[in-house]
Amino acid sequence: MIKPSEDWLISEHQIVSVGQLFRGILANLREKLPNLNKIHLFYAGPTAGAIAIGRQINPRMTPLIQLYEYNRADSPRYKKSIKLEDDLY
């Protein structure tokens, strides 16, 4: 498990590991929840990690993914931002 900190994602190996971890999560969801139609994804981390995660998303195999944007000053603090779905590809 990755311990949260501001500088945890600093090497290429770690970025690859984040992508592999997310790929495993998606495979696990497909296996255990075959009728799942939406994933709510809250990611707080460096851009490189977000790209590694995004590269694992296959629109033909992955349910719709709803992304959220965080803003400390807003209420609620998390607001829907982008939906990643088959129509985008």
3-state secondary structure labels for all residues of the chain: CCCCCCCCCCCHHHHHHHHHHHHHHHHHHHHHCCCCCEEEECCCCCHHHHHHHHCCCCCCCCCEEEEEEECCCCCCCEEEEEEECHHHC
Domain count, the chain: 1
Low-confidence ranges of the chain (pLDDT < 50): none
Q: Is 4 a member of any domain? A: no
Q: Print the domain residue range for 27.
A: 12-88
Give residue 60's pLDDT. 84
High-pLDDT (> 70) share of the chain, %: 89
Q: Is 79 a member of any domain? A: yes
- Cα–Cα distances in angstroms (integers) from residue 48 to residues 35, 44, 54, 70, in the given order: 30, 11, 10, 18
Cβ neighbour number for residue 55 with a 10 Å cutoff: 11
Give residue 2's pLDDT. 57
